[in-house]
Amino acid sequence: MTSSSPAQVFAAHLLAALAKAGVQNVFLAPGARSQSLAIAAGQLAAAGKIKLHVRLDERSMGFTALGSALISGEPSVLITTSGTAVANLHPAVLEASHSGVPLILLTADRPHELRGVGANQTTNQIGIFGDAVRECVDVPAPNGHDGEIREAATLATNAIAVAMGYDGDQPGPVQLNLAFREPLSAVEPNAAELNPRIELPNIFEPHPEFAMLSAKRPTVVMAGAGAGSDAVELAEAFGWPLFAEPSSGARMGANAILGYRNLLEQNADLASQIGRVIVFGKPTLGRAAIRLLYNQDIEVVVVRSKTMGHFDVSRRAAHTIDEITVDDEVDFEWLEAWRRADHEHIAVVETNTDSLDRRALIQAVWRVTEGADQLLLGASRLIREADAHAPAKAIRVFSNRGLAGIDGTVATGVGIALVEREGTTRVLLGDLTLLHDAGSLNIDPRDGDLNIQVIVGNDQGGSIFGGLEMAKTLDTETFDRLFTTPQQVDLWHLAQAYGWAYERVENLGQLDAALAKTGRVLVDVRLA
Ligand SMILES: Cc1ncc(C[n+]2csc(CCOP(=O)(O)OP(=O)(O)O)c2C)c(N)n1
Ligand SMILES: [Mg+2]
């Protein structure tokens, strides 16, 4: 095969190897320095070997790729040009790093001789993400030497292995910083016609570590974000109460204690008996629950996740293990006591009103969301309300709890919707969280029809701060200016501008009707 561009040969083999190793979703934000990568990705997409999503804004693209990786459990590949384009990936890279989501960044760069001399669109891209990437490889510009093709394939498979955590580390982002020298591209070779030889490293199988726990210690299972169904299985196998956050993937089944937040604070008798907490995923929502992990009298056990990160928040874990066994029968009365308390608590809270408040919004969204659907919860007040009021139901719920930013939430939802075309993807978020990421409403029509509802709990500002210390000490005007950031954006115009249907919701009937719509719908729920 002949090609006038070593850059193109290298890019074609790199992307062909990634595709052959199983990567499906590739995200591209156009630029000049990355043109060989774009051409190769386009060829693979045209041949049906990958799905290519083209985005204008790298910041938004980063979160879209994160959403795709979050739901598929497979690495997303991201292609950018050099300079600020790379820096725009940083928020999504941080989120992916802190929640353990695999991303492979292909960042194009100038060759080494043009770095540090003031060349256009050139900055130091090595180490730009700090320790948020599991690995950063500075790949010199290809010049057509023997061995470059094999090197491209090795880079691809290593990147997958490191991003997926096959080395025993947690999954996360990997950066291949790829220098390219002119001629920057050619139409040959066609990446789709290559069949690179790849050797995928064995999927890392650590020897599972068991812990034999005493059945006597009153135990609760705590499921944070990304915990998954293992938490449910463990709680049900041994008869332990399950404290599951709404985006844990474990808020289901008969052991779920829905009112755990309040019970921990109000039922001292029960709460003080807890002798052990078994943690799955990343718990972030409830102060009282997190406090348990710091309590010197409580044993903390962290269970490793097979797909995402595991977190020892208080650094007190007596064990970090894969499997748990128990030395005796667990006393069923412990679970029963929690269940009784939970039922009593729910009976008190449940005052059936017809008003459209946050609780009613949460419950309506949970009611319509079924097994084939996906739900993404934004940071801020609504996810906390969901922790208090969402029922137990076997549905797929996600959130960006790595850093709990209010950025990139629309994009993350779009990334989920791109991968899961069955059912509806619902993104439930606050108004500022929407406005922070309004540009992500811009979806490439070539991505096809998406069923996605962006449901905004619109209280015209950041109302979460009303519950914090400073709300009590500042006068209203100062507090609003410094914290609430009140907004009056007309969301109808926003929806119109980006081609989304718009539904204004002022009562429960309108809410149910809006949630039944298909296509791309912006639901503006006016909260008092
Ligand atoms: C990127 C980022 N910037 C700032 C914050 C701090 N922050 C947390 S919640 C919030 C306000 C959110 O307002 P809104 O989305 O309207 O939700 P509400 O609390 O009103 O329901 C802000 C600014 C953050 N979490 N992430
Ligand atoms: Mg708000």
Is pLDDT above 70 for 351? no
Is pLDDT above 90 for 307? no
Is pLDDT above 80 for 43? yes
Q: What is the position in ligand 1's atom list of the atom closest to the CA of 436?
A: 1
Q: What beta strand segments (E) does 273-354 contain?
A: 276-280, 299-303, 319-321, 323-326
Query: In whole angstroms, what is the distance from residue 94 CA to residue 128 CA?
Result: 12
Decide if 392 contacts 252 (C-beta within 8 A): yes
**Tens digit of each residue's pLDDT (9 = 90 or more) over 105-120:** 999 999 988 878 888 8
- pLDDT at site 345: 87
Is pLDDT above 80 for 528? no
Is pLDDT above 70 for 352? no
> What b/e readout covers 483-509, taking b as 16+ CB neighbours within 10 angstroms?
bbeeeeeebeebbeeeebebbebeebe
Q: What beta strand segments (E) does 438-514 contain?
A: 452-458, 501-505
Average pLDDT over residues 439-453: 95
* Smallest CA separation from ligand 1 atom 17, residue: 430
H/E stretch holding 370 reads none
Is pLDDT above 90 for 102? yes
Nearest ligand to the CA of 358 is 1
CA angle centred on 114, ends 112 and 120, rounded to 5°: 135
Query: In whole angstroms, what is the distance from residue 20 CA to residue 330 CA?
Result: 49
pLDDT band at 69, cuts 50/70/90? Answer: very high
Query: In whole angstroms, what is the distance from residue 392 CA to residue 255 CA?
Result: 9
Q: What is the position in ligand 1's atom list of the atom closest to the CA of 434?
A: 15
Is pLDDT above 60 for 204? no
- DSSP letter at 329 equals P
Average pLDDT over residues 280-294: 93
Average pLDDT over residues 144-150: 93
- pLDDT at site 286: 85
Q: What is the mean pLDDT of the chain?
A: 94
Q: What is the position in ligand 1's atom list of the atom closest to the CA of 431?
A: 16
Query: In whole angstroms, what is the distance from residue 280 CA to residue 287 CA?
Result: 17
- pLDDT at site 166: 84
Is pLDDT above 90 for 95? yes
Centre of ligand 1 from the C-alpha of residue 441, in Å: 19
Decide if 106 contacts 163 (C-beta within 8 A): no
Centre of ligand 1 from the C-alpha of residue 462, in Å: 6
Write out the DSSP string of 153-207.
HHHHHHHHHHHTTTTSSPP-EEEEEEE--SS---S-S-GGG------PPPPP-PP
pLDDT band at 346, cuts 50/70/90? Answer: confident
Is pLDDT above 80 for 474? yes
Side-chain-side CA neighbours of residue 240 (13 Å): 30
**Tens digit of each residue's pLDDT (9 = 90 or more) over 407-436:** 999 999 999 999 999 899 999 999 999 999
pLDDT band at 400, cuts 50/70/90? Answer: very high
Centre of ligand 1 from the C-alpha of residue 244, in Å: 23
- pLDDT at site 233: 96
pTM of the model: 0.96
Ligand 1: list residues with CB < 6 Å.
379-382, 404-407, 430-433, 457, 459, 462-464
Weakest mean pLDDT among 133-142, 295-304, 342-351, 516-525: 342-351
Centre of ligand 2 from the C-alpha of residue 429, in Å: 8
Q: What is the position in ligand 1's atom list of the atom closest to the CA of 378?
A: 15
Amino acid letter at 149?
A: I
Is pLDDT above 70 for 202? no
Average pLDDT over residues 352-357: 82
- pLDDT at site 112: 87
Rounded-to-5 percentages of helix, strand, coil across the chain: 40, 20, 40
* Smallest CA separation from ligand 1 atom 15, residue: 430
Is pLDDT above 80 for 441? yes
3-state secondary structure 90-156: HHHHHHHHHHCCCEEEEEEECCHHHCCCCCCCCCCCCCCCHHHCCEEEEECCCCCCCCHHHHHHHHH
Q: What is the position in ligand 1's atom list of the atom closest to the CA of 461?
A: 16
Please state the φ and ψ torsions of residue 459, each to the nearest 5 degrees: -115, 20
Q: 319: Cβ–Cβ under 8 A, 6 or more apart, which residues?
A: 209, 211, 301, 302
Centre of ligand 1 from the C-alpha of residue 410, in Å: 14
- DSSP letter at 483 equals I
Task: Please give the torsion angle defined by the CA atoms of residues 112, 121, 412 and 312, in that order, rounded to the nearest 10 degrees.
Answer: 50
Query: In whole angstroms, what is the distance from residue 215 CA to residue 222 CA?
Result: 17
Candidates 248, 222, 246; CA nearest to 234 is 222
- pLDDT at site 460: 96
* Smallest CA separation from ligand 1 atom 23, residue: 462
Q: 480: Cβ–Cβ under 8 A, 6 or more apart, which residues?
A: 461, 486
